[in-house]
Every structure is written in C-alpha cells, then in structure tokens.
C-alpha cells in the first residue's frame, strides 16, 4: 500500500503524559520519525494528556489500584481518533492492551538498570544501618529489604523531579531511579551509581519505549515499521511473557531481564515476597525466536518453587 506521510496541514498527533520524562520520550519518537522520512517538525503535534496516575499524588499507587492508571485516558483518546499514536514507558504497560489497540513498535532500549541516588553521592553498600530509603516501587522495596533488612523504606511518589526534590528536603536519604530515565532527561548533575542486574534485577521492560496505535490504522502501522527495533522486541517478548504468566501487575514484586547473545536469549527472572523475606530467581537460555516460550517456562518454574500464598501481604 502507499503510505500517506504527515504534513503541517495534516499532522500526526502524538499522545503522551506531561511529565518531563514522558515528554522527552515523545520528542525522541518525533525526532526518529522526522529522521526516518525526512519530515519537518511541524508535521507532528504533541498532545499532552493527564492521567489519573498523574493527578493523584497523595496516595500510594497500590491504594488507588486498578490497571491502566497511567494509560486509560491516553488509550481512550487513541481509540477515539483524537491522537494517532501514544508513546509509553513499556515498564508501566500492562501485558494486554484494550480491544482495538496494539503495542508492537519499540524504540531501541536504553540502559535497563536501576540507579542508586543519594545527593551526597554515596553508594548503597556504604549506607549506614537504619537509613531511610524512599521508593514507591514494591519490587525495589522488596529487593532492598531482602539484601538490607537493616534499612527503612518510605513511600516516595511522584515523577523523577518530585522525588529528587524530596531527597533535597530530607524526606529520605536515598532513592532508586531508572538509569534510562536519568539518561533521557539528561540529568547529568544527579549523583547516581548504576546497580548491576546481579544486585538488583530491573523491572520488566525497564528502559524501553513502546508506541501504541489503533489496530486498524494501517497507514500508521507502515509509518512505524521504520522505527521498530527488533532486538528490543525480542527481549520484551521474553520479559512480558514471563510477567503475563505470573499474572503480574505493578502490585507484585517481579523482576526480569532478557539479554541477547548471538542467536540465543537468556531470561533471568525473580519474584519476591513483598516484605523481602524471600526471593526466588532463576534463568533460562534458548533460541532467540522462542523468547515468549522461555518466559512462560521460567514463570512456571518459579511458581512451582514459590507455592501458594507467596505473593500475599505480610
Ligand atoms: N514508573 C515510573 C517510570 N516509568 C518508567 C521510568 C523510567 C524509564 C524507563 O524505565 O523506561 C520510570 C521512573 C523510574 O523508575 O525511575
């Protein structure tokens, strides 16, 4: 089919949340489309959409609950045709999309690792016993308490900027942020130490950007083909199949990272009790085109070891 390209008269509308990180990701997407097809910047329109997750800042995410806290309003506008594509952090995306939408275009993944952030520039190893660490991630909390039960974790909501401000105010001595977020925000002045995956296995899909569209919008599908990064897709296929098989949501401490080497893919996964008292991890290597199957097998293996009630609150 012949592709119709966006023009200043008929723009491609890019939907995104309004946080600085979300905007950086939308700008990256626009830049890649401009580059791929030699299009002017004003062939695109960035449409900022506020989500429930952005508006409610005073409660822990797990209390508000529900799927799609950061995506529903954006997906509604996509379905209604008010925007043409939506740019998302893949780590925040449920494994299934609403009927009529598809999320199969991934930009090249940034660094998937977590960073330890302390304004004085210290490291996790040197953090004194009894120190307070802020995070709103159940995964990071469980992983931290598993290794360092001597530390205290406090709830730390808000976007990257808000969390850095809270550190400055002394609400906590340190926090964790994704390396990808710091890099995309070009936040060079934020003291951070990268944490190796062996020490803190990242969230599923951390560091990857996904572009969602309407299933029936073939023109946009063609446009996006030039942007899709195959190796990132292969890694996310394994990680997201692992997550799906665990029936995971943001309310469960689950970690996973797939790495490619030649024709093979290795998926490492971890599940934890919410209080960090127990962590189970394992890995499977197999052919690169069997990532999803590997993800399901790894999940089965860990679920068998975990037994019933592993994820229950305690
Ligand atoms: N849940 C918020 C969120 N979603 C994606 C990122 C970071 C960027 C990424 O993983 O692509 C962050 C912030 C953080 O964890 O520090």
SS3 303: helix
**pLDDT digit string (tens) for 101-121?**
999 999 999 999 999 999 999
Whether 91 is in the pocket of ligand 1, judged by its Cβ within 6 Å, is yes
Å from CA of 95 to ligand 1 middle: 16
How far from chain centre, in Å, is Cα 104? 15
> How far, CA to CA in Å, does 305 sit from each of 11, 110, 140, 271, 310?
52, 32, 21, 10, 10
Å from CA of 91 to ligand 1 middle: 7
Annotated catalytic residue, options 54, 92, 114, 217: 92
The preferred substitution site among 106, 178, 250, 255 for testing ligand 1, maximizing ligand atoms within 8 Å of CB, is: 178
For the question of residue 92 being annotated catalytic, the response is: yes
What is the average pLDDT across 125-132?
Answer: 96
Q: pLDDT band at residue 250, thresholds of 50, 70 and 90?
A: low
- Is residue 143 over pLDDT 50? yes
Q: Decide: 227 and 210 in contact? Cβ < 8 Å.
A: no
What is the average pLDDT across 236-254?
Answer: 88
Whether 89 is in the pocket of ligand 1, judged by its Cβ within 6 Å, is yes
What average pLDDT does the structure give for the chain? 94
Q: Measured from the CA of 202, which atom of ligand 1 is nearest? A: 10
Distance between CA atoms of 311 and 314, rounded to whole angstroms? 9
Percentage of the chain lying above the pLDDT 90 cut: 86
CA dihedral 245, 270, 208, 292 (to 10 degrees): -40
Higher pLDDT, 296 or 52: 296
SS3 44: strand
pLDDT, residue 158, reads 84
The preferred substitution site among 87, 89, 157, 183 for testing ligand 1, maximizing ligand atoms within 8 Å of CB, is: 89
The preferred substitution site among 180, 190, 194 for testing ligand 1, maximizing ligand atoms within 8 Å of CB, is: 180
- Rounded to 5°, the CA angle 12-88-14 comes to 15
Q: Measured from the CA of 205, which atom of ligand 1 is nearest? A: 10
Whether 53 is in the pocket of ligand 1, judged by its Cβ within 6 Å, is no
Distance between CA atoms of 211 and 216, rounded to whole angstroms? 15
Whether 207 is in the pocket of ligand 1, judged by its Cβ within 6 Å, is yes
What is the average pLDDT across 11-30?
Answer: 97
Domains of the chain, first to last: 12-107+208-228 (3.40.190.10), 114-194 (3.40.190.10), 239-306 (3.30.160.40)
**pLDDT digit string (tens) for 184-197?**
999 989 999 999 99
Å from CA of 7 to ligand 1 middle: 32
pLDDT, residue 26, reads 98
Distance between CA atoms of 254 and 140, rounded to whole angstroms? 9
Cβ neighbours of 228 (radius 10 Å): 15
**pLDDT digit string (tens) for 22-64?**
999 999 999 999 999 999 999 999 999 999 888 876 666 666 6
């Amino acid at each position: 089919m012949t592709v119709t390209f966006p023009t200043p008269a008929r723009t491609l509308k890019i939907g995104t949340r309004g946080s600085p990180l979300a905007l950086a990701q939308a700008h990256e997407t626009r830049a890649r489309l401009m580059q791929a097809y030699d299009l002017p910047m004003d062939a695109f329109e960035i449409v900022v959409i506020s989500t429930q997750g952005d508006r409610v800042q005073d409660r822990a995410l797990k209390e508000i609950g529900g799927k799609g806290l950061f995506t529903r309003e954006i997906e509604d506008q996509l379905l209604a045709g008010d925007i043409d594509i939506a740019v998302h952090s893949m780590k925040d995306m449920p494994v299934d999309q609403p009927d009529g939408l598809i999320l199969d275009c991934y930009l090249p993944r940034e660094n998937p690792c977590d960073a330890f952030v302390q304004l004085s520039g210290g490291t996790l190893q040197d953090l004194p016993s009894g120190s307070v660490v802020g995070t709103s991630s159940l995964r990071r909390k469980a992983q931290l308490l598993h290794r360092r039960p001597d530390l205290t974790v406090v709830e730390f909501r808000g976007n990257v900027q808000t969390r850095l401000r809270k550190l400055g105010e002394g609400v906590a001595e340190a926090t964790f942020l994704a390396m990808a977020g710091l890099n995309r925000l070009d936040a060079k002045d934020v003291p951070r130490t990268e944490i190796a995956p062996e020490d803190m296995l990242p969230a599923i899909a951390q560091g990857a950007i996904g572009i969602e569209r309407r299933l029936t919008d073939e023109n946009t599908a063609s446009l996006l083909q030039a942007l899709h990064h195959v190796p990132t897709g292969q890694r996310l296929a394994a990680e997201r199949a692992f997550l799906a098989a665990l029936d995971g949501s943001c309310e469960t401490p689950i970690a996973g990272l797939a790495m490619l080497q030649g024709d093979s893919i290795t998926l490492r996964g971890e599940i934890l009790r919410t209080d960090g008292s127990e962590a189970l991890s394992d890995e499977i290597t197999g052919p690169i085109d069997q990532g999803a199957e590997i993800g399901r097998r790894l999940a089965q293996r860990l679920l068998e070891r975990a037994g019933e009630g592993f994820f229950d609150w305690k």
